[in-house]
């Protein structure tokens, strides 16, 4: 070391350094540390020089304290010094868009810090209390640090009451949002997209002035309802897509500035509020992939909207819903539009496959609602009062609150009202004596009310004498009677009526043998089960004009809905197992029709829209409007052409001659539809594919890869593919051009049986196809027609056969295909 040459100079130098270090102790050393940590070091950040003097991006106050550091977008690397928070006068730290890595330093107690930009870097962790004591913070941006180890929302931000912009998307944030948002009186922007946040929207969002709310694309998804949005009047951009939010879209009419609302890919239910569709500022809306219900929404011209297919609107285009559907949606609405109702109440006909709902025999009016034990919350809607045919209303064992609406006492048909085991309050309205009212297990119900409202004497308490319904002409008893038994009884009665009518008809036609026209059958007066109105509902194609309509409740709708409309209906596509089971059910039903002793019946209109599915996805053949009696299956019968294009056997289409092989052909077409998921005729497809049979057979004949015909929604492993191949072969066989080359239905049953067997647990329950050979309707018809030769027989729009409850009288009709279990 060299000797100092001038002691005076040395001491001045030392004093200078000393005084410098004394006044700028923290900042200069921290800044020096900082400059060494980052690379490349900015050229102006020279070691040993005053950071307040020429360091680019650094600004200081009059006392030479650093107030602002801006190093954004400079491709810098390195990890930050841990004691950065000793720059206590710092107001702005802008390090965004670099390659900084390592743990974030603590920024705690930087009480002057207003802007902290750390986004688009490669930080690896957030220390505890990193953001505590930031009492003047207005903007925190941390987004796009995708390598941060999982962390939770920093509760400490609660001290930053002036926070305006919070941005932490793509930062591996997990857990739930703390309920602290009421603290941020100036909060405008909350951007926390692409994290793993869970839980609900904290209620402290209620009434805040947040404008931009980005919580979209959480891995597991935020959940719960969106009611709070309706209170956030400043909202302009709401991105909540890709979460697990449930319940209805709230009324957002207070949010007059809302222009962008992204709600797709959630589990929202209920109706799109009309107020949303008339919001003036709204420009972009996405609603797809939810379970929304009610009328199809219609937005103004300037709005970009995606609605998609996975929703459950009552119609595929704008327009009001059926009144009964509207009523039931009101009822669901009072319970917060539960998901299981949203998913199982498709379409615009409440009598067509809606769970928990039973309708009268004409499939028109709701008679039974059974919501028992569904964990439903909310209230009992007064809209129940609009269901004039309602007989049984079972709401027991839920968590319903509120009171029993007075309107229910006016329901003329009501026999049973069971609200036991809820949390209802208020008085019990005075129901007429014939109503069996069960109210036990509601601690607060009827309390303080005068006589008439006991609470809970063994589930039988009511407003008057109970239990003994008048019975009346129906002979039905109220109270614990199982709707299945009721249905069975109803069907039994219907069958009896049907047979009586047919015998009368026979008698009538005998007397006037020349008249083969359709004879109007008057409805038996006072019996709701029979109708003089052959019109049908639920898309089941009945015959026009006059007849008896017998309905069985087939809750899952038609095969065609499940094959071709599952997208719109929000159901999942059928599995191969379900399809092949359905095919077997149909084959058995048609085989049975064909193989009745002595003479044969020909369905003539076999197609997926005539195949109804029960709750267990077992099939029954419906619509016997065109059933034809063929006295001898070998001989063809000449008829006026009937049936449906796409399913007509060539010889039938050309000559009008019908044999059982016409049904075999149509069955083959149905098999093709089951295999391909395409309809028999598809006008929207390119010409070479529009006729299913032609296209399908071309594949078989040309030895092309038959995998290409299989419905893409079927994920066929080798075993399944082998199984499908056999059905492909059968479909080809059944649609042979020459009727003589087509197998009979017995063959189809023999082919399909083992394929179904392949999956069936060997419980052996299934083998009974539920045919009552004692007095089946076809047999009755057959006897009746013994002398009538080939007259066309029209006996109703839809005829499905008893659900094989054991209580059904011996006159029960036959199940085609499967039996109830
Ligand atoms: C911040 O200040 C508080 C109180 O002044 C103190 O208790 C705490 O230790 C400080 N935190 C840090 C990380 O310096
Ligand atoms: C981020 O850091 C990790 C290691 O911590 C490194 O493997 C990765 O390449 C870095 N990514 C970028 C974009 O710098
Ligand atoms: C908040 O963000 C908005 C929009 O990006 C911006 O205009 C505004 O200046 C920011 N406010 C603060 C305090 O950072
Ligand atoms: C998301 O968070 C949940 C717990 O909140 C956790 O179970 C899950 O593994 C996380 N997912 C990922 C991909 O980190
Ligand atoms: C929001 O807060 C108001 C006032 O406290 C309250 O009445 C309302 O029910 C709250 N709304 C929601 C959806 O929580
Ligand atoms: C609306 O969405 C379209 C297409 O997604 C986009 O181009 C447009 O910028 C959006 N408009 C607004 C106002 O967000
Ligand atoms: C079904 O309801 C309608 C409207 O309430 C009513 O006019 C009709 O008579 C009802 N039908 C039956 C069979 O109760
Ligand atoms: C009612 O709600 C409580 C608490 O949420 C729950 O424990 C209970 O099981 C619910 N009861 C029914 C019948 O759903
Ligand atoms: C019933 O409701 C009351 C208030 O309405 C509530 O305090 C109580 O917890 C509820 N009981 C159950 C079992 O949900
Ligand atoms: C029902 O009627 C029977 C006989 O008609 C009678 O013995 C019984 O007490 C009645 N029950 C009720 C609850 O009124
Ligand atoms: C109503 O539904 C419940 C649960 O699904 C069932 O257990 C009960 O038997 C049904 N009640 C009637 C009367 O059908």
pLDDT above 50: residue 690: yes
The closest residue, in CA terms, to atom 2 on ligand 5 is: 206
Listed in sequence order, the residues at least 6 apart from 280 whose beta carbon sits closer than 8 Å to its beta carbon are 256
Asked if pLDDT for residue 19 goes beyond 70, the answer is no
High-pLDDT (> 70) share of the chain, %: 73
Residues 775, 797: Cα–Cα separation, whole Å: 21
pLDDT for position 366: 96
Pocket test for ligand 8, best of 375, 394, 400, 422 (most atoms within 8 A of CB): 375
Whether 634 is in the pocket of ligand 8, judged by its Cβ within 6 Å, is: no
Q: In what order do the strands lie in the sheet with 66-70?
A: 58-60, 66-70, 92-94, 115-117, 139-141, 165-167, 189-191, 212-214, 237-239, 260-262, 284-286, 304-306
Hey, what long-range contacts does 274-278 have (CB within 8 A, 24 or more apart)?
A: 275/251, 276/249, 276/251, 276/252
Contact 101, 121 (CB under 8 A): yes
Atom 8 of ligand 5 has which residue's CA nearest to it? 206
Marked catalytic residue, from 27, 360, 605, 794: 605
Choice between 480 and 423, residue whose per-residue pLDDT is larger: 423
How far away, in angstroms, is 573 Cα from ligand 6 center? 32
How confident is the model at residue 513, as a pLDDT?
35
- Which CATH number does the domain housing residue 337 bear? 3.80.10.10
Q: Is the CB of 317 under 6 A from ligand 8?
A: no
Cβ 293 vs Cβ 342: under 8 Å: yes
Please choose, from the candidates 490, 602, 622, the residue with its C-alpha nearest in 3D space to the C-alpha of residue 556.
622
C-alpha torsion 724→593→682→720, nearest 10: -10
The model's confidence at residue 458, banded by pLDDT at 50, 70 and 90, is: very low
Neighbours of 172 (CB within 10 A): 18
Q: How many CB atoms lie within 10 A of CB 294?
A: 26
Mean pLDDT of 710-734: 88
Q: In 621-691, which ranges are continuous DSSP H helix?
A: 650-655, 660-676, 687-690
Judge whether 623 counts as a catalytic residue: no
Looking at ligand 10, which residue's alpha carbon is closest to its atom 3?
A: 468
Burial of 600 (0-12, 13-18, 19+ CB in 10 A): buried
Q: 380 lies in which domain range?
A: 323-478
pLDDT band at 511 (very low <50, low <70, confident <90, very high): very low
Spacing, Cα 436 to ligand 11 middle (Å)? 16
φ and ψ at residue 407, rounded to 5 degrees: -55, -20
Q: Which residues contact 393 (CB under 8 A, 6 or more apart)?
A: 368, 369, 384, 408, 414, 416, 417, 418
Q: Are 38 and 58 in contact, with CB atoms under 8 Å apart?
A: no
Q: What CATH code is carried by the domain that includes residue 697?
A: 1.10.510.10
Alpha-carbon span 237 to 214, nearest angstrom? 8
Task: Let me know whether 545 and 682 are in one domain.
Answer: no
- Whole-angstrom Cα distance, residue 551 to residue 614? 13
pLDDT score at 448: 44
pLDDT of residue 638: 58
Question: How far is ligand 6, taken at its centre, from the CA of residue 233, in Å?
Answer: 22
Residue with the smallest CA separation from ligand 6 atom 10 is 284
Residue 391 lies in a domain: yes
In this model, does residue 152 exceed pLDDT 60? yes
Q: Do residue 674 and residue 742 come from a single domain?
A: yes
3-state secondary structure string across 420-469: CCCCCCECCCCCCCCCEEECCCCCCECCCCCCCCCCCCCCCCCCCCCCCC
* Count of domains for the chain: 4
pLDDT of residue 308: 82
Does ligand 9 lie within 6 Å of residue 403's CB atom?
no
The whole-angstrom separation of Cα 502 and Cα 482 is 30
Question: What separation in Å is there between the alpha carbon of 167 and the centre of ligand 1?
Answer: 25
Model confidence at 543: pLDDT above 50: no
Is residue 48 in a domain?
no
Indicate whether 727 pLDDT > 70.
yes
Which pLDDT belongs to residue 253? 94
Q: Are residues 502 and 466 in the same domain?
A: no
Average pLDDT over residues 387-415: 95
Tell which of 478, 501, 529 closes a domain.
Answer: 478
Confidence of residue 759 (pLDDT cuts 50, 70, 90): low
pLDDT at 780 over 50: no
Instruction: Average the pLDDT over 286-301 and give the result.
Output: 94
What's the pLDDT at 5? Answer: 52
Q: What is the pLDDT of residue 385?
A: 95
Point out the least confidently predicted range of 7-11, 616-620, 721-725: 7-11
Q: How far is the CA of 134 from the centre of ligand 1 (A)?
A: 11
| 44 within some domain | no
Closest CA to 670 of 572, 577, 558, 753: 558
pTM of the predicted protein model:
0.60
What is the structure's pLDDT at 628?
A: 61
| Closest ligand 2 atom, residue 124 Cα | 5
pLDDT at residue number 492 = 43
Residue 482 beta carbon below 6 angstroms from any ligand 11 atom: yes
Q: Is the pLDDT of residue 777 over 90?
A: no
pLDDT of residue 672: 95
Mean pLDDT is lowest, of 295-304, 332-341, 404-413, 513-522, for 513-522
Domain C-terminal end among 277, 306, 335: 306
**Closest ligand 6 atom number to CA of residue 259:** 13
Residues whose CB is less than 8 angstroms from the CB of residue 200 and which lie 6 or more positions away in sequence, other chains included? 176, 222, 223, 224, 225
Q: Are 604 and 325 a contacting pair, CB within 8 Å? A: no
Instruction: Say yes or no: CB of residue 260 within 6 Å of ligand 6.
Output: yes
- Whether the per-residue pLDDT at 13 is higher than 80: the answer is no
More confident residue, 492 or 67: 67
Q: What was the pLDDT predicted at 480?
A: 34
pLDDT single digits (tens) 157-172:
999 999 999 999 999 9
165 in the same domain as 125: yes
Q: What percent of the chain has pLDDT over 90?
A: 53
Over range 545-568, report the average pLDDT.
Answer: 70
Residues with beta carbon inside 6 Å of ligand 7?
Answer: 360, 364-365, 388-389, 528
Average pLDDT over residues 687-710: 83
Q: What is the pLDDT of residue 658?
A: 80
Are the C-beta atoms of 620 and 801 separated by less than 8 Å? yes
Q: Is residue 4 part of a domain?
A: no
Instruction: Identify whether 108 is part of a domain.
Output: yes
Judge if 538 and 597 occupy the same domain: no
Examine the domain organization and report whether 418 and 567 are in the same domain: no
Residues 200-233 have pLDDT tens digits of 999 999 999 999 999 999 999 999 999 999 999 9
Is 39 within a domain?
no
Tens of pLDDT, residue by residue over 305-336, are 999 877 899 998 899 999 999 999 999 999 99
73-82, 286-295, 771-780: least confident range: 771-780
Domain check: are 435 and 580 in the same one? no
Q: Reply yes or no on whether the pLDDT at 805 is more than 70.
A: no
- Alpha helix (H) residue ranges in 69-136: none
Nearest-atom index, ligand 11, CA of 484 = 14
Q: Would you state the pLDDT for residue 241?
A: 96
- Residue to mutate, 283, 285, 302, ligand 6, most ligand atoms under 8 Å from C-beta: 283
Domain match, 299 and 333 both: no
Count of positions (residues) in the chain = 821
Question: Of 120-134, 178-192, 361-375, 787-801, where does mean pLDDT reach its minimum?
Answer: 787-801
The separation between the first and the last C-alpha atoms of the chain, rounded to the nearest angstrom, is 103
Residue finishing a domain among 435, 462, 478: 478
Long-range contacts formed by 224-230: CB under 8 A, 24+ apart? 224/199, 224/200, 225/200, 225/201, 225/250, 225/336, 226/201, 226/250, 226/263, 226/268, 228/201, 228/203, 229/201, 229/255, 230/254, 230/255
Residue 243 lies in a domain: yes
Report if residue 240 sits inside a domain. Answer: yes
540 and 560 in a common domain: no
625-664: pLDDT as tens digits? 566 655 444 445 556 667 788 888 888 888 877 888 999 9
688-695's contacts with Cβ under 8 Å and 24+ in sequence apart are 691/646, 692/646, 693/646, 693/668, 693/669, 693/735
138 lies in the same domain as 182: yes
- At residue 132, the 3 state secondary structure works out as coil
- Mean pLDDT score, 577-598: 82
Q: Bridge partners of 70?
A: 94
- Average pLDDT taken over every residue of the chain: 78
| Ligand approaching nearest to the C-alpha of 324 | 7
566 and 448 co-located in one domain? no
Residues 535 and 658 in one domain: no
């Amino acid at each position: 070391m060299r000797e100092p040459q001038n002691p005076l100079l040395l001491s001045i130098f030392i004093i200078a350094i000393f005084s410098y270090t004394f006044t700028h102790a923290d900042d200069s050393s921290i800044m020096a540390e900082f400059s060494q940590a980052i690379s490349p070091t900015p050229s102006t950040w020279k070691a040993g020089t005053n950071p307040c003097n020429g360091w680019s991006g650094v600004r200081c106050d009059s006392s030479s304290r650093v107030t602002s550091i801006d190093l954004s977008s400079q491709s810098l690397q390195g990890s930050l010094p841990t004691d950065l928070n000793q720059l206590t006068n710092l107001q702005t730290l802008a390090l965004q868009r670099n390659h900084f890595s390592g743990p974030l330093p603590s920024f705690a107690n930087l009480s002057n810090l207003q802007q902290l930009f750390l986004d688009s870097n490669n930080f690896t962790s957030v220390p505890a209390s990193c953001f505590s004591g930031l009492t003047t913070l207005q903007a925190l941006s941390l987004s796009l640090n995708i390598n941060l180890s999982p962390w939770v929302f920093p509760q400490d931000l609660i001290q930053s009451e002036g926070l305006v912009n919070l941005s932490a998307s793509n930062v591996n944030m997990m857990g739930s949002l703390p309920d602290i948002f009421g603290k941020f009186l100036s909060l405008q922007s909350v951007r926390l997209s692409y994290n793993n946040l869970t839980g609900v929207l904290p209620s402290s969002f209620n009434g805040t002035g947040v404008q931009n709310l980005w919580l979209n694309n959480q891995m597991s998804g935020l959940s719960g309802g969106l009611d709070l949005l309706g209170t956030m009047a400043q909202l302009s951009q709401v991105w909540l897509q890709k979460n697990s939010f449930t319940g209805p879209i709230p009324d957002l009419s207070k949010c007059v500035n809302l222009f962008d609302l992204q709600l797709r890919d959630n589990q929202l239910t209920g109706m799109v509020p009309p107020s949303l569709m008339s919001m003036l500022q709204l420009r972009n809306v996405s609603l797809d992939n939810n379970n929304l219900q009610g009328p199809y929404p219609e937005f103004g011209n300037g709005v970009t909207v995606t609605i998609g297919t996975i929703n459950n609107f009552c119609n595929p285009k704008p327009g009001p819903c059926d009144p009964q559907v509207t009523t039931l949606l009101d009822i669901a609405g009072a319970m917060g539009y539960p998901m299981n109702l949203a998913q199982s109440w498709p379409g615009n006909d409440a009598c067509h496959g809606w769970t928990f709902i039973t309708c009268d025999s004409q499939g028109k009016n709701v008679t039974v609602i059974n919501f028992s034990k569904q964990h439903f919350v909310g209230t009992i809607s007064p809209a129940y009062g609009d269901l004039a045919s309602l007989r049984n209303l079972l709401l027991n064992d839920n968590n319903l609150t509120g009171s029993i609406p007075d309107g229910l006492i006016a329901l003329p048909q009501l026999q049973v009202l069971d609200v036991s085991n809820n949390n209802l309050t208020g008085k019990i309205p005075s129901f007429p004596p014939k109503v069996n009212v069960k109210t036990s297990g509601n601690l607060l119900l009827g309390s303080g009310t005068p006589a008439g409202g006991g609470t809970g004497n063994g589930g039988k308490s009511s407003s008057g004498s109970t239990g003994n319904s008048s019975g009346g002409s129906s002979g039905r008893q109220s109270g614990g009677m199982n709707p299945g038994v009721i249905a069975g009884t109803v069907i039994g009665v219907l069958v009896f009526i049907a047979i009586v009518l047919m015998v009368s008809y026979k008698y009538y036609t005998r007397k006037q043998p020349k008249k083969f026209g359709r004879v109007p059958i008057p409805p038996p007066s006072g019996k709701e089960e029979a109708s003089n109105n052959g019109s049908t509902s639920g898309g089941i194609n009945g015959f026009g004009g006059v007849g008896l309509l017998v309905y069985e409740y087939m809750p899952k709708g038609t095969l065609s809905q499940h094959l071709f409309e599952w997208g719109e209906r929000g159901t999942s596509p059928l599995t191969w197992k379900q399809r092949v089971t359905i095919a077997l059910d149909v084959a058995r039903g048609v085989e049975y029709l064909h193989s009745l002793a002595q003479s044969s019946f020909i369905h003539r209109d076999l197609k997926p829209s005539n195949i109804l599915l029960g709750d267990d996805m077992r099939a029954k053949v419906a619509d016997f409007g065109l059933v034809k009696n063929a006295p001898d299956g070998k001989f063809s019968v000449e008829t006026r052409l009937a049936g449906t294009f796409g399913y007509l056997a060539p010889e039938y289409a050309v000559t009008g001659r019908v044999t059982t092989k016409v049904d075999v052909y149509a069955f083959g077409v149905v098999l093709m539809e089951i295999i391909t998921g395409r309809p028999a005729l598809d006008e929207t497809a390119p010409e070479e594919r529009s006729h299913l049979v032609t296209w399908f057979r071309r594949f078989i004949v040309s030895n092309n890869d038959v995998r290409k015909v299989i419905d893409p929604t079927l994920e066929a492993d080798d075993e399944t593919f082998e199984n499908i191949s056999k059905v492909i072969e059968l479909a080809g066989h059944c649609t042979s051009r020459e009727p003589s080359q087509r197998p009979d239905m017995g063959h189809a049953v023999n082919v399909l049986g083992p394929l179904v067997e392949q999956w069936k647990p060997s419980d052996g329950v299934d083998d009974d196809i539920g045919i009552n050979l004692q007095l089946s309707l076809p047999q009755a018809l057959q006897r009746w027609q013994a002398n009538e030769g080939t007259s066309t027989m029209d006996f109703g729009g839809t005829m499905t056969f008893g659900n094989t409850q054991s209580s059904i009288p011996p006159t029960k009709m036959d199940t085609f295909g499967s039996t109830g279990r």
